Structure 1
Amino acid sequence: MRFLISYFLLFPLVFFAQEDYPSKKTAIETLVKKGKEQQAIQKKKLRNFTYSFYEKSIISAHPDSINGTIDTLFKNKKHTKFTIDSSGFKFKNLLTKQHLYLLEKVSNVSVKNTNKKEEILGLKMAGLKQPIYELMGQEFIPFEWSKKHLKFLTFTIKNPLYFSKNKSYLLTIDPNFTSSIKLNFSSLKEQKNNTVSGYFLLDKETFGIQKSVFIIKGIINIRATTTYFCEKTQKIWLPKTQKLEVNKGVNKYNIAILGETIRFENNKNGNSEKYDYTQDLFFTLSRKYLDYTFLPSTTTQRYAIQIAKNAVTNNASFLRFFETDTIDSRVLNTYKSLDSLVTNERIEQKIYFGKKLINGQIPIGIFDIRARELLKYNNYEGFRMGLGLSTNEKLFHSFKLFGYGAYGTKDGVFKSQIGGSFRVSKNSDSWLTSSFTDDLTEFADITFLVDSKKYKLYDPRPFNISTFYNYQNYTFSYETKAIPTLETVLSLTKSRVNPLFEYTFIANGKPYKLYNLTLFNASFEWSPKSRFLQSPQQIIEVEKNYPKVIVQLTKSIPNILENELNFTKIDLRIQQETKFISGQKTTFLWQGGMSFGNTPLSHLYSVAPNNLDKIRLIQRVIFASKTAFETMYFNEFFSDKYAFFQLKHYFNKLMLAKNCKPTLVLGSKVAFGSLSNPELHQGLVFKTMEKGFFESGLELQNIFKGFGLSAYYRYGPYQLARFEDNLAVKISFTLNLGL
C-alpha cells in the first residue's frame, strides 16, 4: 500500500518529465540529475555575457519589536541604589526615524570566457564619510548554482544538488505543487554548527531553477531567496531578484557585517543589565538584476572590480532610478543624519585605525607612527627604542616622507632611515621610492621584498640573535600592481656591509671583513585566484585566495658603484591553503633558494631557526614564529642551496569556556640544505643539513586574549642526544583587533 501511495503521489512528476520512475528515491535522483545537467548547460552558455544590478544593504530593526520603556536598574539587592536605563527608549526613537546603516550601489558586470569584471557606477554609504572599499568585493549570496559549495555571507555550505547521495541532505518532492516541481531539502547533520534547509522550484520542461530558498540556522539565522526569469533567446533561467536576511541566532557570538561588529547576546540577567539593543537588529541585502546581454564584452577593465571616478559623488537620483519600490522615509533620513551607532560607537574611526594598525601604523593627524620602530629587543642592541614617522593621505595623496631613528641600550649606537615616495600612477598604484638607511640586520636572513612591507606585530626571532651586520644602504625602488594579479618590486641598492662579530669571507683568494655591494633585486608576488579592487586611493585585495607564489632574483652588478663581490641568488616561495566545509583548513608552504658565485654568509640562508642555545627547556621558552623551525638553534646551519616544506592543519575552535576558545593546530616541517666551500666562511662554527632536518608538533592558538602555546619535537638525522634538547615549547600570539 505504501508503495502505491508513493507511486500515485509522484504521478504528476512522472507525467511531465516523461520518465518512468520506479520509486520515490529514483524520482528524486533523476530530478537532481536533470537539475545538475541544466546548471551545466547554463554554465556553458554564460561564458560571455553582461548585466547590471542595483544593490541595497541595510542594518536596522523593526521599531514595533523594540521594548521602548524606560527601566529602573537596581545596583544592590535592597533596591536602595538605582539608575535609569533609557537606552531602549532612545533606540526605538532612533529606529522610528532612520536605519542604522545603509549602503547602495549600482554596478555593470561583464563576463568574458567566465572571467568576471565588475564596474561600480554609483556608490553611497550612510553613516560613514569614506566607503569601506574592502567590502565591495564580497558576494554574500551566490549568483550561479553550478558549484559544489555555496557561500552565504561568511558561511560555506554544501550544494544540495551535488550532495544528495552522501547522506548530507534529505530531499523530498512536494506533491502539492502543480505549476512547477518543488524540491525540498534539509541537512541530516550540522554543517559548521549550522542546520541548512530550504527548497528549489524547478521548471517542469527545462528543469531550470525558478526560485531557490536557503535557510541557515545557528549562531545567526540566514534566509537567502533568489527568483529567476526565463531568458527566451538562450532558454536559460537567470537571477531576477535576490534577498539575504540575517538576524540573531541561538547563541552568543560576534559577527562582523559591513565593517561593523554587531554583538548578538542573550540577556540572561533580567533587568539587572542595560537594554541589549542588538537583539532586535537585522541585516538585509537585496539585489535587482537587469539588462542581460549575450554579446562578447569589449571592456578593457584591468582589475576584477573597479570603482568609477564619479561613483562616490554620484547624486541620489541616479540610484533612485534603479529603485522601483516605494521609497522608505527612513532611507532618506538615514542619509540626512549621522546620529546612529556608527557615529556614537566611533565605528568609522575604529575602522580607519584598524586598517592602519594592520599595516603597522598608528595615525595621529597628518602623520602615521610606524609601530614596528617603537620598541624591540635583541642580544646585540639590548632594548632598542625608536620612533618612526610617515606622512599620510591627510597631507598628500601621492607623496609621502618617511623615516625613523632608534637607539640600542646595549650597543649605544644610533640607527636611522630617511626617504620619500612619489606615486607615478594611481591606476596601477605605482610608486617610486628613494631612501638612505644606517641600521643592523640579521645574518643570512631570508627576505622577500614584496613580503617585507607587510607588518608583523612582533618578530620573535631577533630577540635572541647575536650575529648581526651593520649596513649603510642607498636604495632606489619601484613598486607597481600594473598586472592585476602580480605585485612587482624592483630595486637598486648600494650597501656597505660590516659584520659585527668575527667573520671573514674569502673570495678569489682575498679576505673580506667589510665589503661593498651593489645589488639589483626583482621581486614578484603572483596571486592568480585572488580578486583585486581598484579604489580611488589604491589597489586592494578584496578576496584573498591561494596559491600565492613569490619569485625573487638578486644580482650583484660588477664594477658598478664600488661593488666588490659577484653573485646571483634565486628564491621561490609557494603558499597553498585549502579550506574545508567543516571550517577546518590545511596550509602548505614550500620555500627554496640557491646562490651562485662569491656570496658572503650575510646574504646566504640560515633557514629560519628559532631556538636558544640554553641547557634547560624553560630557558628556551620564547615567542613562536609562524614559519620558523622552533627546535633549530640559531647559527646551527647555513646553506647556499636549500628547500623548506611546512604542512599545518587547523581544527575548529575548542569551546572550553566563554573566554577560552583555542584552535588546535598540527604541524610538520622539513628542510634540506647544502653549502659549497664552507671553508671560505671563517669565524663561525656551523653545520650543513644534506640529510634533512625534521620537526613536528602541535599548537593551541588563542587560548586567552590572543596568547597560546606550541610544542615541537626534533627528530631524524640531526636529532640530539638528550630528549629535552629536541623539545621546544613556545608562546604564540594572534592579533585580534576586535573590530
Structure 2
Amino acid sequence: MKYVLLCIFLCSKLFAQHTISGTVIDATTQSPLAFASIKADNGSTTGSDLNGQFTLESANEITHITVSYIGYKSKKVAVSRDPKLALKISLEPAENALEEVTVNYVNPAHAIIRKVIANKKKNNPNSLGSFTYNCYNKMMLNVRHTDSAHTKVDMSKHAFMMESITKRKFLKPDLSEETVTATRVSGFQNPAFAAVMTDFQPFSFYEDDIRMLDKHYLNPIANGSLDKYQFRLEETRASLRDTVYVISFAPRKGKNFDALKGQLFINSNGYAVQNVVASPAEKKKVELRIRQQYQFTGGQWFPEKMNFALVFNDYPAKQMYMVMDGKSYIDSVQINPALRRRDFGIESVRIAADATRKDSLFWDQFRKEKINSVDLKTYRLLDSVGREHNMDRIVAGIARFIEGRLPIGPIDIDLNRTFTYNKYEGLRLGTGIYTNDKLFRNFTVGAFYGYGLNDEESKYGGEFIYTLSRNHEFRIGAQYYHDLAETGIFGADLSRKSLFGYRKYIASRFDMKDGENFWVEFRSFRWFKWKFSMATEAVTLKYPYAFFPTPLVPVTDYHNTSLNVNMRFAFRERLSTMFGQRTSSGTDFPVLNVSYTRGLKQVLDGELSYNRFEAQVDQSFYTKNFGTTSYTLQGGYVDTPLPYGLMFTGEGSYDREVPVIMKNTFQTMRPYEFLSDRYVNIFLSHHFSGLLFKAGQFQPGISLHTNAGWGDISRPYVHNTDYRIKRNWFFESGLQLDSLLKADYFGIANAGFGIGAYYRYGAYSLPDFKDNIALKATFTFTLK
C-alpha cells in the first residue's frame, strides 16, 4: 500500500508541474476584482478569490491566460516562465453598461433567479435554529491615486489598521451575541472599541432589505425583484459535480428605487448564493462595496469570507481616494448546536475584559492572514504616535462629548447645563461638574450652578451616584436641587434633556422646585429598564396662575411628595458597550415607556394625593419599495385636579423665532395652548427617501406627516389661567423636504437644509388661513 501512495504522490507532482499565480485588480482604483474568470490557452480554468488572487495549476505548459470580469475589458496576458513571479493583471472598465432587453426574449437568468428566490428561506443562515462560529476581522485604511502615474503615496504602511477576533452565537429568531476576544487598533494602547463584520455589511445576503451605511437597498433576490432589476447570464462554470451560474444585475431603466449592481454566483446545489459582489448602483462620494463568499458545510450554505471596501471618492483631494478595506474570515462553524436563551448575555456585542492584552501567540493562532511587513510597520509607527499624542484619551473624550459630557482629567463638564437658553431665563450662564472613572470607578459626585440673565435667579444642586453592577445597569443615587422644571412634560420623554433637543429652547412656563430626590435604577429580564424614585419638593410658580381646589381658596405655591416608577421595554434591543458606556443600536420592535406617579399627602409635608399615568409607544420600520414609517403613540391620565405644572400641556412647538421642526410635537400648536388631565396623541410620519424623486445631485428627502391629538379636563374651573380644551380631535398634516440645500462637510458628507410645511385643520383650525400654516426648517446630516 505504501508504494501505491508513493506513486500517487509522485504522479500528482509530475502532472501538476505548471503553476502560475497572480492578482486581478481594477486599473483605475487598484482594488482587487473578486471572482474574475481566468482561462489558460491549454483549456485550464480557475477564478480569483475575494482578494482578487488566483492560482492555476496544469499538467500542460501554459503560455497565455485570458482574464475576464463582468463590466471590464477582457485581457490576454503572456505567462512568465518563472513560477515564483506572480502576475499583477489590471483590467480596464468596459464602456458599455448592462443593456436591457426589450424584444421578445426568454431571459435564462430569470429562471435561475426564480429558483434562488424560492430557496431563500432554506439557504438563509439566519433561518437556522442556531449556529456558532469564530471570525477574524482585519481593516486597513489607505490613500491612493486614481492616476497610476502618481508614485508619491507611501505604500510601505497603512494609514490606519485594526484587527479583532470574535466568537458569535445565534439562536432563532434573532438572539445574537458576539464576543470580541481580542482587539488591536493602530495608535491605541488600550482601545475601548472594536470592529465586527456586521458593522459594515449584512451577515446574510438573503434579506429583502440590504442595509449599507445609512441606506436601505432592495435585494436583487427579493420577492418582486424581477420587475425592478435587469439580469443577464454572463457565464456558466463547472464546479465539481455542480454548476455555477454567473449572473450580472443592475436596476432597470426608468425604475426609481435604491438599487444595487453587481454579480451573483449561483450554485446549482440548492440554487444558493455561492459568491456575491455588490455596490450601490448610483455613484456617490462615499460608497460601500461588498464581496461575500459562502461554503457548503453541514448540509448548509454558510458565509466563509466577507470583504468590504468603504471608498471615499475624490477625498482627500481630486484624483485621490481614501479606502477602508475590510476582511472577515469565518471558521469553526457549528450548525444547530444546543443553545438556550440563558446562554446569552444582555449585549449583542461585548468586548472581553482582556481583549486588548492578548499576546502574539494568541493572535497567530487565529489570524487567517499572516501579518506582513506593512502591517508591522503600521503598528510600530502609529502606536508610537498614539502614545505621544494620547489618542486613547482623545477618542474617549469625543465619545463622551457626543453623550453631552466634556472630560477634563478626573472630571466631566455637563454640556447640557453649560450656557443653556430658554424663553423664560434667556441665556443661563453656568455649568455642571461630575467626577468620572479616573477618580472613582463606581462612584460619581456632581454639582451644577446656573444664573438666568432674564429672571436674574440662581439655580444650583448636587448629586451622587453609586454603581452596584455595570452589567445590569444597577445604580442608586440622591440629589438636591433648586432648579426650574417646565410644566406638563411627559414623564418618560427625555428629548428635552438632550443636547440637541430644540423644544427646550422655546419653553417659557416653569415651576421653581426646591427639593430632594432619591432613586434606584436597573435592567431586568434583558429588555426591561426600571427607575424608582421618591421626591419631595417645594414648588413655586413662575407664571400668572392660581389653583382653586376649593372655592375662594387659591393655591399658588405648594409642597409635593411623590413616588415615581418609570419602565422602558425594548424587545430585542441591540446593545453594546464602547468606551465604557452601554449604547443601543435600536430594535425592530415597538419601544414602550410607562411612567406612574403617586402623590403622597402628609408624607414629608406633601399636600397632594393623586395618581398620574403616562405611556408612550414608538417604532420605525422599513417597508420594501415604500420607505420608512415611524409612529409615536402617547397617552396620559390624572385621576384628580392638580396644579397646572402637574397637568398635561406643552406639546405644541409653534414659535416664530425658532421655526425648526421638533419631533413628537404639534408643529402648528402654540406652546401651552391646551390643558388636559387626560390625553391621547398620535404622531405618524413616512419617509420615502429617494423612492419618489431623483434628478442628478438634486435628491431631496421627501416625507409626509400627520399628527392628531385629543384631550379633556374634568374640572376646568379650578384653573385660573388662559387655556383651551381639545375635547375634539386636533389635526395637522405636513410635507417635509430635506436637503434642498447642501453644505459640504470635509468633502465626504452634506449638512442638508430643508423645509417643512404643516397645515392645521379640523375643529381647532384658526379663523385666519395663514395662522394655520407653519413653515419650519429641517437639518440633516448624510454621507455624499
1:671 aligns with 2:709: yes
Match of 2:139 among 57, 69, 90: 57
What is the match of residue 642 of structure 1? Answer: 679
What is the match of residue 519 of structure 1? Answer: 562
What is the match of residue 440 of structure 1? Answer: 484
CA shift at 1:724, angstroms? 2.9
What is the match of residue 111 of structure 1? Answer: 170
- Residues 641, 284 of structure 1: alpha-carbon distance in 2 compared, 3 angstrom cutoff: same
Match of 2:582 among 539, 558, 579: 539
Which whole-Å CA distance do the structure 2 matches of 1:200 and 1:588 have between them? 40
Which whole-Å CA distance do the structure 1 matches of 2:394 and 2:701 have between them? 26
Further displaced range: 592-601 or 573-582: 573-582
CA shift at 1:303, angstroms? 2.3
Match of 2:767 among 701, 721, 724: 721
Matched AA of 1:726: N
User: CA offsets, 1:287-338, max 9 Å, x none?
Assistant: 2322425321252423222222211222232122112434311122222221
1:485–1:532 Cα contact (<8 Å) kept: no
1:40 aligns with 2:141: no
User: CA offsets, 1:579-634, max 9 Å, x none?
Assistant: 4667953322221111113432211111512235xxxxxx6564442232232223
Which whole-Å CA distance do the structure 2 matches of 1:497 and 1:112 have between them? 52
Superposition map of 1:57-76 within 5 A: 57-61=139-143
What is the match of residue 90 of structure 2? Answer: none
Matched AA of 2:136: Y
CA shift at 1:225, angstroms? 2.7
Further displaced range: 665-674 or 221-230: 221-230
Which whole-Å CA distance do the structure 2 matches of 1:29 and 1:348 have between them? 52
Counterpart secondary structure, 1:629:
coil
1:623–1:732 Cα contact (<8 Å) kept: yes
- Residues 559, 119 of structure 1: alpha-carbon distance in 2 compared, 3 angstrom cutoff: same
CA shift at 1:532, angstroms? 0.7
What is the match of residue 382 of structure 1? Answer: 426
For these two proteins, the number of residue pairs brought into alignment is 658
Which whole-Å CA distance do the structure 2 matches of 1:64 and 1:446 have between them? 54
State the percentage of identical aligned residues. Answer: 22
Which whole-Å CA distance do the structure 2 matches of 1:102 and 1:433 have between them? 41
Which whole-Å CA distance do the structure 1 matches of 2:224 and 2:248 have between them? 9
Superposition map of 1:69-468 within 5 A: 89=152, 91-92=153-154, 95-96=155-156, 98-114=157-173, 115-131=175-191, 133=193, 136=196, 138-152=198-212, 154-163=214-223, 166-174=226-234, 176-179=236-239, 180-189=243-252, 195-204=260-269, 206-216=270-280, 218-219=283-284, 220-231=286-297, 234-249=298-313, 263=315, 265-267=317-319, 276=320, 279=321, 281-297=323-339, 299-338=343-382, 351-448=395-492, 451=494, 455-457=498-500, 459-463=502-506, 465=508, 467-468=509-510
1:137–1:543 Cα contact (<8 Å) kept: no
Q: TM-score, normalised by structure 1?
A: 0.80
Which whole-Å CA distance do the structure 2 matches of 1:591 and 1:413 have between them? 34
Which whole-Å CA distance do the structure 2 matches of 1:343 and 1:163 have between them? 52
Matched AA of 1:208: A
Which whole-Å CA distance do the structure 1 matches of 2:664 and 2:354 have between them? 44
CA shift at 1:119, angstroms? 1.8
Matched AA of 2:549: A
CA shift at 1:671, angstroms? 0.8
Which whole-Å CA distance do the structure 2 matches of 1:463 and 1:689 have between them? 22
1:376–1:384 Cα contact (<8 Å) kept: yes
- Residues 166, 265 of structure 1: alpha-carbon distance in 2 compared, 3 angstrom cutoff: farther
Further displaced range: 304-313 or 43-52: 43-52
What is the match of residue 83 of structure 1? Answer: none
CA shift at 1:353, angstroms? 4.2
Q: Show structure 2 runs of 5+ residues with no match.
A: 1-103, 744-750
User: CA offsets, 1:477-499, max 9 Å, x none?
Assistant: 12223443333222111111121
Which whole-Å CA distance do the structure 1 matches of 2:369 and 2:328 have between them? 12
1:429–1:481 Cα contact (<8 Å) kept: yes
Counterpart secondary structure, 2:112:
helix
User: CA offsets, 1:149-185, max 9 Å, x none?
Assistant: 2234555432222246542222333454233131403
Which whole-Å CA distance do the structure 2 matches of 1:100 and 1:655 have between them? 36
Matched AA of 1:420: F
Q: Show structure 1 runs of 5+ residues with no match.
A: 1-22, 70-88, 253-262, 268-275, 613-618
Q: TM-score, normalised by structure 2?
A: 0.75
2:329–2:368 Cα contact (<8 Å) kept: no
- Residues 315, 367 of structure 1: alpha-carbon distance in 2 compared, 3 angstrom cutoff: same
Which whole-Å CA distance do the structure 1 matches of 2:475 and 2:726 have between them? 40
CA shift at 1:529, angstroms? 4.2
2:141–2:322 Cα contact (<8 Å) kept: no
What is the match of residue 553 of structure 1? Answer: 596
What is the match of residue 79 of structure 1? Answer: none
- Residues 462, 293 of structure 1: alpha-carbon distance in 2 compared, 3 angstrom cutoff: closer
Which whole-Å CA distance do the structure 1 matches of 2:287 and 2:774 have between them? 43
Which whole-Å CA distance do the structure 1 matches of 2:225 and 2:235 have between them? 21
- Residues 347, 266 of structure 1: alpha-carbon distance in 2 compared, 3 angstrom cutoff: farther
CA shift at 1:202, angstroms? 0.7
1:223–1:246 Cα contact (<8 Å) kept: yes
CA shift at 1:672, angstroms? 0.7
Output the aligned Cα RMSD: 3.6
Further displaced range: 602-611 or 208-217: 208-217
Which whole-Å CA distance do the structure 2 matches of 1:382 and 1:242 have between them? 54
Matched AA of 1:486: F
User: CA offsets, 1:548-595, max 9 Å, x none?
Assistant: 221111112343212211111111112222346679533222211111
Matched AA of 2:261: V
- Residues 486, 324 of structure 1: alpha-carbon distance in 2 compared, 3 angstrom cutoff: same
Superposition map of 1:649-688 within 5 A: 649-652=686-689, 663-682=701-720, 684-688=721-725
User: CA offsets, 1:492-551, max 9 Å, x none?
Assistant: 111111212343323366643222211122212222243112458232214554532211
- Residues 353, 623 of structure 1: alpha-carbon distance in 2 compared, 3 angstrom cutoff: farther
User: CA offsets, 1:672-721, max 9 Å, x none?
Assistant: 11001111222x02110011112223344564566554443322111121
Further displaced range: 337-346 or 109-118: 337-346
Which whole-Å CA distance do the structure 1 matches of 2:579 and 2:453 have between them? 44
Which whole-Å CA distance do the structure 2 matches of 1:515 and 1:529 have between them? 43
Counterpart secondary structure, 1:446:
coil
Matched AA of 2:731: F
1:620–1:728 Cα contact (<8 Å) kept: no
1:504–1:681 Cα contact (<8 Å) kept: yes
What is the match of residue 603 of structure 1? Answer: 646
Which whole-Å CA distance do the structure 2 matches of 1:560 and 1:402 have between them? 28
